[in-house]
Amino acid sequence: MLRAIMLIAALLAVPAAASEDPRHLMPSQTAPCAADPVGPLTLPDLVDLALCHNPATAVAWAASRSAAAQVGIARAAELPSLSATVGPTLSRTDYLSSQQFVLGNGQSFSATSNSTDFGSSASLALNYLIFDFGGRAARIDSARASQRAALGQVADTAQTVALDTVTAYNSLQANIAATTAAQSTVAFNRSSLDLASGRTRAGVATPADELQARTSLAQAELTLAQARGNARTSAGQLAVVIGLPPTTVLPLAPAPVLASADKLNRDVTVLIADAEKLRPDLRIAAANRDAATAQIRAARSDLLPSLAASAQDNLGYANSTSDSNRASVGLTVTIPFFNGYDRTYRVAAARAEADRQAALFEQTRQQAGLDVFTQATALETQISVLSTARELINSATASADIAQGRFKAGVGTFTDLLNAQSALASARQQLVSADFGVRDAQARLARAIGDVSTAVDANRSSR
């Protein structure tokens, strides 16, 4: 008996495996982040930083590890379970005698006795589910489908983080470009003010022209101050998207020349077909549908009998009595008869959930097609706007130069010059908006297709 207790104690004392994942189902760690790049940061550099530091990616990664662990939990039913119990026992027994004793004074009493026993017991129990009409396999399939959904969520989160980084980067670069355009407008208005002041001093222009020039310059300087503030705000927003404090100063490389949109400006039907292959949310919806379908099989199996095997060995010792050892091996058939229709409604609930997930998949598929169509139309519109904005800036620049020259020569009015200045300032801002509008539209279309990483990598260059 003592040897048996020592054996069980030794089994319980075996240290756990060094890994918490004996089946090697869970990814041990995320892909290691490269060292933070040194020097001006390009858009791909910023996306790499965001994927490493944005908390959203850590949340999705942890969820995928949890889903992988659920697969291990479901697969536990594939193996037998082994448990051991060991411990001391203390028991007291009172014996009541039916024999009566009479004392000399006539009083009677019954004799009693008791005993206290101290012992110990140990047991090993082995249980294994042999057959359950596919319930075990269905639960494993459901867990694996849920794991696929979690991995799809990791990919979807990564694409969302990448898109957020692209849009934040474009917003910052647009505000930087708007600041540069505002500076050019201020310089142009200042030269017009110098002309108006000189002509006023020469007596060939009215003081009203100079006042209008000062007002126009003040408005341009106000626009410049607003643009600088917007740029600072955008810089803070970009830092937060990357996962850094908003006060972080990011050294940025100049924005690359706008690439041709021909690669993404393809037939919408082809783009929708690509989206159905690439979009992570469609993979998530399909995995959820598969998990729900597997749960129907699992619920149905609970209505049917199951067969399990068991083996048990019990050792006991009490005081001076001899050791006892009782072993048993058996098969158990469990037949569910009635439990208040619980299992019946579980099957009905599983079927309803499977119908819901199938409908959600179709809804997601239709929404994916609409997203691609909408973003492709937006890109086509932005390309047209950019073409017009380029023509506008050329004509507005020429018109402003002519108006300034005519005013300097004394053959044009200051009102004409002000109008030309205003049109040029507006054209500069519209060109900036149109340029980065195309960049944003390209990124959003790539996200709608499910291939935003390719759009980012197109801007990647070797250092």
Domains of the chain: 28-85+133-306+341-457 (1.20.1600.10)
DSSP state of 202: T
CA torsion sign, 392 to 394 to 395 to 396?
A: positive
pLDDT digits (tens, 9 = 90+) for 426-436: 999 999 999 99
**What pLDDT score was predicted for residue 404?**
87
Question: What is the distance between the alpha carbons of residues 305 and 307, in angstroms, rounded to a whole number?
Answer: 7
Q: Count Cβ atoms below 10 Å from residue 208 Cβ, excluding itself.
A: 11
DSSP state of 319: T
pLDDT digits (tens, 9 = 90+) for 81-115: 999 988 887 777 666 655 565 556 666 655 566 66
pTM comes to 0.80
Residue ranges of the chain with per-residue pLDDT less than 50: 1-18, 462-463
**What pLDDT score was predicted for residue 355?**
97
Question: What is the distance between the alpha carbons of residues 91 and 321, in angstroms, rounded to a whole number?
Answer: 14
Task: Supply 169's token pair.
Answer: 């980067």
From the list 263, 274, 457, 260, the residue with the least C-alpha distance to 373 is 274
Q: Please name the amino acid found at residue 4.
A: A
Question: What is the distance between the alpha carbons of residues 285 and 367, in angstroms, rounded to a whole number?
Answer: 12
**What pLDDT score was predicted for residue 202?**
82
Q: CA angle 378-384-385, nearest 5°?
A: 85
- Cα Rg of the chain, angstroms: 40
**What pLDDT score was predicted for residue 263?**
52
Question: What is the distance between the alpha carbons of residues 371 and 128, in angstroms, rounded to a whole number?
Answer: 51
From the list 123, 125, 130, the residue with the least C-alpha distance to 79 is 130
